[in-house]
Chain A
Amino acid sequence: MKKLMLGNEAFARGLYEAGCKVVSSYPGTPSTEITEEVAKYNEVYAEWAPNEKVALEVALGASIAGARSFCGMKHVGLNVAADPLYTASYSGVNAGLVIAVADDQGMHSSQNEQDSRHHAIASKVPMLEPSDSAECKDFVKLAFEISENFDTPVIVRMSTRVAHSQSVVAAEDRQELELKEYIKTPQKYVMMPAYAKGRHVFVEERTNKLTEYAETSPLNRVEISENAEFGVITNGAAYQYTKEALGDKASVLKIGMVNPMPVKLIQDFAAKYEKIYIIEELDGIIEQHCRNIGVNNVQGKEIFGYIGEIPQSVIAEKILGEKKEFVSLDENIPVRPPVMCAGCPHRGLFYCLKKLGVTVSGDIGCYTLGAAAPLNAMDTTICMGASISGLHGFNKARGAESEHKSVAVIGDSTFMHSGMTGLVNIAYNNSNSTVIILDNSITGMTGHQQNPTTGKNLKGDPAAAVNLEELCKAIGIKRVQVVDPYHLAETEKAIKEELAADEASVIISRRPCALLKYVKHNPPFAVDSEKCVGCKACMKLGCPAISVKDKKAVIDHTQCVGCGICQEQCKFNAIK
């Protein structure tokens, strides 16, 4: 049956149809729904791992054991999983191993705009790149075949537009596969120097074979247009923009296998036209490949640049000189940035940090919104886990002067992902640092996934829960306090105490995310306009439910969840 499916949903369908048995992933926009969707099929074992490195190692283990397996992540996740990736390239697979990596051209929800094709090239692993949902499903199935035929992991590169656009897909049946036999083969799976040397030779031979395969593979497709005066080489979402902008004005070579790329296919295509445009988002990888193989009638990055998406309007303007007409209002339209939800447990904590004027070594999650106005309570955010290790470095550089007035903040999922090791470093290398774990019992930012602290697994079934207090103590932190961030006074007191202490400490700020279904909320609060003097003290919290009308605060009862922190702020007892 034909259905509209998100690219991610179609990807999951492809995994199911290909007989995939084991899935281990870590969430990250825009890759998350692949794993959430595949978990709905009972034939597939699927889990959230604590981080991408663990996830990829699990999937590789399952592949060696003989089951088709999968691991999904966002682009920066592949940096974390790079270590197993580069050696899995050498060990190869037993049953097929497919990895999804989702790039975020345009940085709709990421901390950088890296081009993950570099990882495929550097690790010498083949990479496929679909352009719509139907291709997502087809490419995944083909990826398993390539993986098994060439003895290699295969990466499928997604992008925000392909992952989060729905297009028409025809579902097919699942191919049920027997486990492949596992034969002990240390020359292949024990990558110590003596064996790894042999495997490196294999990897180089494999790349040659894959390049040959790329010449004739259906993944790369030439679309000749009789009217065309020039050619375009393109990949991924940019293929769709190209077709939309140029129609039959261009002949197109669509690269579906972005590593390794064909040689003769490109040379022959480029020889047909005087001018070839290369329309690829982010880095100029196809373009560089063209130059490397002596194809020099190409233009790409000098026209389109390295930043963001290359949508149809840009292509039409740069190549055809056409621009769409539009009107806009001569009016200042205020921006609408994302904000922490009404009743978000992170708000109270950040309010206290702002009030105390401390330096905040931040991390990635919903709480990164604490960096925005009106809280403005974050100094750094680099990558997952960097809050804790970064604070340690900051304190080692500046000593006691900063130790008593700086903290690290990190979410529960992020702490499990890569914060723990930083805390071990603080205990081991003896820094007087204060770490705050924002335990909202969920992975909020990426759309509410379970994690090792929540007591549930990906399928929603009960699971072991890490006890954060005991874990921190076992790591060697003697001072561990738990506070409720809905109680501002208690929270502020705890932060002051731990900043004053002369040893490392952890504060666990514990309160479940306000959007979780099981959370029971208090009835909404309202402002007594007789009592409100319009001092705007409550506005400093940045709760989206509070606004000011006619110089008095008003609370939107449809948004308010009755957390009560604004009431605690009001000196005139106007909030009830």
Chain B
Amino acid sequence: MSILVFAEHDNSELKADTLKTVAAAQAIGGDIHLLVAGHNCQAVAEAASKVNGVSKVLVADNAAYEHQLAENVSLLVTELAADYNHIMATALTTGKNFMPRVAALLDVTQISDIIAVESSDTFVRPIYAGNAIATVQSLDSKKVITVRSTGFDAVATDGNAEIIAVDKVTDAGISSYVSEQLSVSERPELGAASVIISGGRGMQNGENFKLLDGIADKLGAAIGASRAAVDAGFVPNDMQVGQTGKIVAPDLYIAVGISGAIQHLAGMKDSKVIVAINKDAEAPIFQVADYGLVADLFNALPELESKL
């Protein structure tokens, strides 16, 4: 059996989530190859060759893949798919974007967002905002799978895979990149952070999110938010944690001024330790919190920062 795993990267850095997706591939078992599709992405290929459990790294380095447009990448992956039983990607926005296209081109359905592997054709995935866990068997000959990183532990990176150039160029010619607005931050990414502090509507405005900065600095934490805080324009969309935002499971998650709607819980309730700071003792967030503090956040945050 052989498995193709799509490497998540930004042309310069291999994302740590890929190490977890490779772990999912190992749980299925078989010869694992990584695909690096991008432009000027040799550094990523080098990093990919170190990922344990991977025997080959296929590198498709071409301008057509620079922005990983779904139309182009899905054609490439579909052509390569002939040699594989399983095609896997991390369930982040890139994988979520192009993988279902691959599935449709191969005439199979996709098994999305798996958190565990039961066997080579049977997988476990959360549904209904994580309020139910489904075990689903794929009846298709090829399996197209996206993997939720929080379900798997990263493999090590002391491997030595062979790097092979792929010179196929698949440019569908129907979409093009115009621009991007990236959030720049010195902090760890939400998906990679071991501590996250998130603010909700209770923060009242974007300026007040600065109250989280000092604490995040002291804890080496990433900063997240609820949908309400994003919708209100306090912070950008890429900070949204939840069912329809980012799914995280850090060692410590601190929810500040967040009520604990099921859609928010879906994105963080697998965190190891949850702390909630909310002035409403009845807020549902306290039902999932290991440590709850009923307090006004405008008093609690400065005090917490000073005592860390």
Decide whether A and B are members of one complex. Answer: no
